[in-house]
A and B are shown apart, each in its own frame.
Chain A
Amino acid sequence: MSMINIQDVTFSYTGKRLILKDINLTVEQGEWVAILGHNGSGKSTLAKLLVGLLEPKSGTIAIDGVLLTPDTLYEERKKIGIVFQNPDNQFVGVSVRDDIAFGMENLNVPREEMLEKIQFYAEKVGMSDLLEKEPSTLSGGQKQRVAIAGILAMQTKIMIFDEATSMLDPTSRNELMAYISTLHDEGITIIMITHDMEEALYADRLVVLKEGAIFEDDAKATLLRKPERFREARLDLPMALKIQSGLSKTDEKEKRVRDFLWEFVSAK
């Protein structure tokens, strides 16, 4: 049974312009999928549909085999967590501890269990010394880590990152990416919504959206061999591929650099 199953999903806000058209997408347990797209390609809307913040105009979404409907929504939301772009606008609690607790409080987790889980997941994201801190004293990266801990504490199976690194400085961004890798290793299904190709290189599979429709959907290594497809979707190529395309194919030395660069992008 696939973790996420989207069938013929169409969405529009006002009824006239379709934001998403005929989306068909299946994500398996433990996959790391990057959903790529230029501004206005509908990628964030897709994320909101997956967590039930929006309802599709037509088509169905199933999470872990259960169809998302107003009746099943609250049950299904436990399986899927989302980290948004702005670290400040998703920090609900007055302290780190309160924020990690927020989701569990909503699920009526008993207090003793909450305290244990907060300790456990705060340690996991490296925030256990800062439990009493107020959000205004934390960095953007720390706030995103708190958001992750809060979602993990709800025993989520799928994690969506909706441009979650775009407001972070390079260091915290790398830290967060490394952290997401460990989540992936633990078997959590990762959906990463981004317009940044460098970030997408971490994924196993790339889904490219263009004007609300799926433009490409393939394994990373396969898709990277077709750089023109990314340009057509108005996406910037990763730096390594840009360098590679500038190198000669015949010269023996340059060929070795080309191979190295390919190795680099496909092995990440």
Chain B
Amino acid sequence: MKNIVIGQYVPGDGFLYRLDPRTKLIAVIILMVAVFLLETIIELVVAFGLVILLLIAGKISIVRVAKGLKPLFVLLLFTFFFQILFNKEGTLLVEEILSLNPANLGLGLLLTVLWRLLARFGKFKTILLFLWIAGIYCLLRYVAIAPQWTTFSLQIHEKGIEMSVFVVIRLLIIISLSTIMTLTTKPTDLTQGLEKLMRPLKVIGIKSDDFALIISISLRYIPTILDEANKIMAAQASRGADFSEGGLKEKIKQVISLLVPMFIIAFKRSEELADAMESRNFVPGKKRTRIHELSFGWKDAVTSVVILLCLAASITLKVIG
């Protein structure tokens, strides 16, 4: 628990690390807008190429970014199939008659159970998922035994394939961009950047400096509280509690038995912390100087220009196209 990493920040020394967090935040937003303006696959592929170039120039390992994409893999897959199956524009490329009947339903269930069981081993999860999808497809397509409940046709259109590739690449670019930002910016710097960018919101009553302090204190206490949870779990386990077994009802009971002491301790902690902060002359809402200083340098200026050029390019493409 000592070396827990909050956020995805990985120390490094590429030029992206030396940019002002504000530049990075705004750049990500502008680039996302620019990507949404693009309309053809070729444009997107070029944009994707630029993102890869950015990774290489910023000395960020592509493997790390790919790891950042992993949790969103299911989303990507879903978008892909959704587009392929439900986009009915353009010429029809493939048409398959699928049927649903007791035989393939039963086999399908069996296959699903098998898949879940195998997935428990935790290896080849992705391959297993694809095998399951392929298996279900084969069952629906080739096991056509009476009595047929229903039949439906699976159609794949030209536009469907195009759109699915299009949407997936777009998502990939957007996720990669935000991953690049979180990989190269410390959570504290990110909060600082957000705080500075939120300054103008003071007009509508949002205090950005209090907000930043809340975030930085939360970040600071996450490892402490996790440590505490572990201690309480160990204390309860030593008195016979078993966190890994039991039905849903027992699980809920166990979670509550963990949460109650956690909350009590957290409240006590926050009270003591408030005392400590107050005794060190903290007054909420009062102006404070900052040890962290954000500096907008020439690197940021160059980056801003490049980013704006990207936006201009995609607007031009949109107008011409």
Binding site for B on A (CB under 8 A): 48, 51-53, 74, 77-78, 81-82, 84, 86, 88-94, 97-98, 101-111, 114-115, 118, 134-137, 150-151, 154
Contact = CB atoms under 8 A, between A and B. Distances in A.
Contacts of B110: none
Nearest to A110: B289
B91 interface: no
Given A74-B283, A105-B288, A108-B288, A84 B220 contact: no
Binding site secondary structure of chain A: helix
B220 A135 contact: yes
B280 A103 contact: yes
A93 B217 CA distance: 7
B283 A86 contact: no
A106 to B, nearest CB: 4
B220 A102 contact: no
Interface residues of B, number: 32
A94 B222 CA distance: 11
B282 interface: yes
A88 B3 CA distance: 16
Given A78-B281, A81-B280, A136-B2, A108 B287 contact: yes
A-B complex: 3 closest residue pairs judged by Cβ atoms? A90-B276, A101-B291, A136-B223
Nearest to A77: B281
B286 interface: yes
Interface of B: 1-4, 188, 216-217, 219-220, 223-224, 227, 269, 272-273, 275-283, 286-293
A48 B289 contact: no
Contacts of A136: 1-2, 4, 223-224, 227
A151 B280 CA distance: 7
A105 B220 contact: no
B286 A106 contact: yes
A104 B3 CA distance: 29
Contacts of B224: 88, 135-136
A106 B283 contact: yes
B223 A104 contact: no
B21 to A, nearest CB: 15
B281 A154 contact: yes
Contact of B273 (A89, A110, A154): A89
Contact of A84 (B4, B275, B282, B290): B275
Given A94-B188, A101-B291, A111-B290, A48 B281 contact: no
Among A92, A101, A134, residue most surrounded by chain B Cβ atoms (within 10 Å): A92
A86 B289 CA distance: 27
Contacts of A101: 291
A81 B224 CA distance: 24
B272 A102 contact: no
Contacts of B1: 136
19 contacts: A51-B279, A74-B281, A81-B279, A84-B272, A84-B275, A89-B276, A92-B217, A92-B220, A92-B280, A93-B220, A98-B188, A98-B216, A101-B291, A102-B280, A103-B280, A105-B289, A108-B289, A114-B291, A134-B223
Contacts of A93: 216, 220
